[in-house]
Amino acid sequence: MAGRRPVFTENFAANLAAIQAFLGPEGESAFRRLLDRLFDEIVPELCRFPQAGRSFLGRPLKSRRSEALAKLLGKSLERNDDLREYLVDDYLVLYLIRGLRVVFLSIKHHRQLSFDLRRFWVGG
């Protein structure tokens, strides 16, 4: 895999398990397709072209609460970190470009609840 090195958080693995449970037994083939696409196409693409996703903090915010949360999140990032999101099929992948690594933080089916980012930066 050329480019940056992929790193997967425990949360990313837990999200995959949650997606499998969310899809249920009838969604097993869809889950296998997701895994195949994720590790054969998406991860290599994002490691090679990490800017392919859009900036997570660069999108327009429509409430004061979201502005405050985005500001707080921005303070948790290191100087050259780039938090990005990548849409593929029914899934949204949240990842962080940090140095020579692409850190895969979370993946969600579009019908699942939103990201819980607090756990990534608690205590530093």
* Residues 83/57, Cβ–Cβ less than 8 Å: yes
User: Does any domain span residue 54?
Assistant: yes
Q: Is residue 117 exposed (0-12), middle (13-18) or buried (19+ Cβ within 10 Å)? A: middle
User: Does any domain span residue 114?
Assistant: no
Give residue for tokens 């992929």.
Answer: 6
User: Does any domain span residue 117?
Assistant: no
The residue ranges of the chain whose pLDDT is under 70 are 1-2, 113-124
User: Does any domain span residue 116?
Assistant: no
Nearest to 121 by CA among 89, 78, 87: 78
User: Does any domain span residue 44?
Assistant: yes
User: Does any domain span residue 120?
Assistant: no
User: Does any domain span residue 119?
Assistant: no
pLDDT of residue 119: 60
Entry pTM = 0.81
Domain count, the chain: 1
As a whole number of angstroms, the distance between CA 18 and CA 55 comes to: 25
Nearest to 105 by CA among 84, 89, 87: 84
Structural domain harbouring 79: 5-108
Looking up residue 52, the CATH number of its domain turns out to be 3.30.2310.20
Give residue for tokens 């979201």.
Answer: 66
pLDDT of residue 97: 96
pLDDT of residue 1: 46
User: Does any domain span residue 102?
Assistant: yes
Query: What angle (nearest 5°) sits at the alpha carbon of residue 25, between those of residues 21 and 31?
Result: 65
CB atoms within 10 A of CB 74: 11
